[in-house]
Amino acid sequence: MTNEHYFNGVSDCLIAIFSSPDALKYPSTFSRLLPYVLQLESILDQCSPTTTDNRAENITKLITQFGENLAQLIVQMSIASESQSQAYAHQFCRLVMKCTEMKGQYPIDETCSELTFNFWHALKDEVTSINDETKQTVAQQLFRPYFEHLIEVLIVKGQLPENEQLFSSEDKETFRTYRSNILDTMMCMYDVFGTRAMEILANRLVISIEQTQSWQIQESIIRLFGTGSEYIQTDENQILPKIFSLIPKLNFSHNSMINSTLIVLGRDFSSI
C-alpha cells in the first residue's frame, strides 16, 4: 500500500489473472481465492475515492474483474449446499455494491462506481440463463434484494450535479457517458423484474414528491422510467396511470427536469 509502484504492478497482475478467459476452468481454485478477494474491503476502506494515486479505483477493478469474469461461479456458490460458499457469494455481492454506491459525485469525487456496472450485467445474465427452473427461481430470490437495492443506487448516482460549473468539458462528457451506462444497467433490471422495476421507480417517485426532494432525484427517476417502455403492454392500466398522475406534482424548477420529462413522454412512451 505504501509503495505505489509495487501496488500498481501487483494489481495489474491480479487483474490479468482474474480476467483470464480460462478462469472458469478452475472453479475450485478461484473459489478458494474468493475469501482473499473479500479481504480487499479492508484495504478499500483505507483508500480515499478522491486520492490522486487511484488506489481505490485499482482495488475496485480487482474486485469487479473477479466478479465479472466469474459471475457464474458466484451464482453457483450462492445456490450450493455448503453454507460457507453461500456466505462468500453474498459477501462478494455486498462488496461490489459498496463500490457501486461509493459516496461522492462521479467523476469529481469518485471514479469507482462505473467500474461495477459490468458485474451487475454479468450477474443478471447468469441468473436468468440458468436452465434448471427450480435453481433459477432460487437464484432470483437470493439476488433479488441486491437488484432492488441497485435500482435505488442508480437513482442516486444518476443525479445531475447541483453545480455544473464544477465540471470541466471533459468531466461533462464523462458524466454523460456514465449516465448512459446507468440507463443500460437499468435495462438489465427490467430484464430481471419486468414491470416490477417500474413499480419500484413509481414508489420512489411518490416518496420524492411527498418529501419535497430535489428536482435532481426526480429527473433521475424519470430517465430510468424511459428505459422500461418496451416492457409496458398497451393495455396496462395500473402503473402508467399512477406515473402520469404524478407528473403535475413534479418539481419543474429546472430546464433539465422539463427536458427529460418531455423526452421520456414524447420518445419512450409515445407508442403506448
Spatial CB neighbours of 268, under 8 Å, sequence gap ≥ 6: 225, 226, 227, 229
Instruction: Name the least confident of 33-37, 233-237, 249-253.
Output: 233-237
Nearest CA to 162 among 224, 223, 213? 213
- The predicted model scores a pTM of 0.94
Rounded average pLDDT over 213-236: 90
Single-letter amino acid, residue 266? G
Q: What is the pLDDT of residues 159-189, one digit of tens each?
A: 999 888 889 999 999 999 999 999 999 999 9
Q: What is the pLDDT of residues 8-58, one digit of tens each?
A: 889 999 999 999 999 999 999 999 999 999 999 999 998 877 656 588 999
CA-CA-CA-CA torsion for 91, 95, 97, 102, nearest 10 degrees?
150
Cα 77 from Cα 47, distance rounded (Å): 29
pLDDT > 80? residue 115 = yes
Q: With bands split at pLDDT 50, 70 and 90, how would you rate the model's confidence at 2?
A: low
Q: How many residues does the chain have?
A: 272
Nearest CA to 257 among 136, 124, 160, 154? 160
Q: What is the pLDDT of residue 165?
A: 85
pLDDT > 80? residue 1 = no
Spatial CB neighbours of 4, under 8 Å, sequence gap ≥ 6: 53
pLDDT > 80? residue 67 = yes
Q: What is the pLDDT of residue 239?
A: 86
pLDDT > 60? residue 272 = no
